Amino acid sequence: MPAPDLVTAELTLTGRITTASNATFLGSIGDAAVVYKPIRGEKPLWDFPDGNLAHREVAAYLVSEALGWSIVPRTWLREGPFGDGMVQLWQETDPEQDAVDLMPADEVPETGWKHVLDGQDEEGRIVALVHEDTAALRRMAVLDVIANNADRKGDHVLEMADGHRYGVDHGLTFHSDHKLRTVLWGWVGEKLSGEELDGVGRVSEGLKGELGRNLAELLTAEEISSLAARCAALRAVGRFPGPRGEMPAVPWPLF
């Protein structure tokens, strides 16, 4: 649980992210800079009819905590100037780093990068969608598989100066139908490391106890059993899954 002052101290709005499709505000609680997304500002979505995005974002934070890798910045529910919503600690990113990028297909380095797909730019040149091959980003891909994230765009990866990677915008997660849409496809078929499997094991275990009880406040029972099934399947197969199903495997736009 967040420290009590983050729940009760006044949340002051300082700005608004105007590119966002839902109402997304910047604010502060004392010294802490936060993102605030009021439930009232959510646009209804035909493909996510149950619950609300704010609850899914908090659920993603709880699962990230159970994994133990601090992928999702601290996220909680509280009241703000536009009513109940989700609040998340703001993270100052390093503008010099790009974990997910577009580059000419013939310039993708041999090592350090994973090549996801090729497209054509306006001039007909072949452009590659790539992402870094780092442990931090792999862990985010593991979170996305078990959370069934339908919206892992390039801009939902935050590059921290020390190499840490935070993931944000987890409103489209935990559906009981397969909906994995991500730009992080670089490890398809690769074996999960022992550490990665241990993290998934912690989620499986947690679902039988406190994590399960906390998620019951946020997700439907069907969504929670689907989460448990995805964890079990990933541990049994032990490898990063590939795209499947009818829906596009990457979100649009990619960033």
Sign of the C-alpha dihedral computed for residues 85, 91, 96 and 102 taken in this order: negative
Rounded Cα distance between 208 and 244, Å, is 29
Q: Given the DSSP bridges, would you call strands 75-80 and 25-29 parallel, antiparallel or unpaired?
A: unpaired
Q: How many residues of this chain bind Mg ion (CB under 5 A)?
A: 1
Q: Which of the residues 194 through 253 are near ligand ATP (CB under 6 A)? A: none
Q: Which amino acid is at 150?
A: A
Q: Which amino acid is at 110?
A: E
- How far apart are CB 132 and ligand ATP at their closest, in Å? 17
Nearest to 159 by CA among 142, 182, 143, 140: 140
Q: Which amino acid is at 67?
A: L
Segment interacting with ligand ATP, rule: CB under 6 A, options 110-118, 155-163, 187-195, 197-205: 155-163
3-state secondary structure of 64: helix
Per-residue x/- mask for Mg ion, residues 169 to 208, rule CB under 5 A? x---------------------------------------
Q: Quick check: 155 binds ligand ATP (CB under 6 A)?
A: yes
Residue selected from 51, 90, 127, 179 as contacting ligand ATP according to rule CB under 6 A: 90
Segment interacting with Mg ion, rule: CB under 5 A, options 57-65, 73-81, 161-169, 227-235: 161-169
Hey, what's the torsion of the CAs at 68, 74, 76, 80, to 10 degrees?
180
Q: Quick check: 35 binds ligand ATP (CB under 6 A)?
A: yes
Q: Quick check: 98 binds ligand ATP (CB under 6 A)?
A: no
Segment interacting with Mg ion, rule: CB under 5 A, options 121-129, 136-144, 163-171, 214-222: 163-171
Task: Look up residue 109 and give its DSSP letter.
Answer: -
Token digits of residue 59: 């659920």
- Positions in the binding site for Mg ion (CB under 5 A): 169
The contact set with ligand ATP (CB under 6 A) reads 17, 19-22, 24, 35, 73, 88, 90-91, 155-156, 158, 168-169
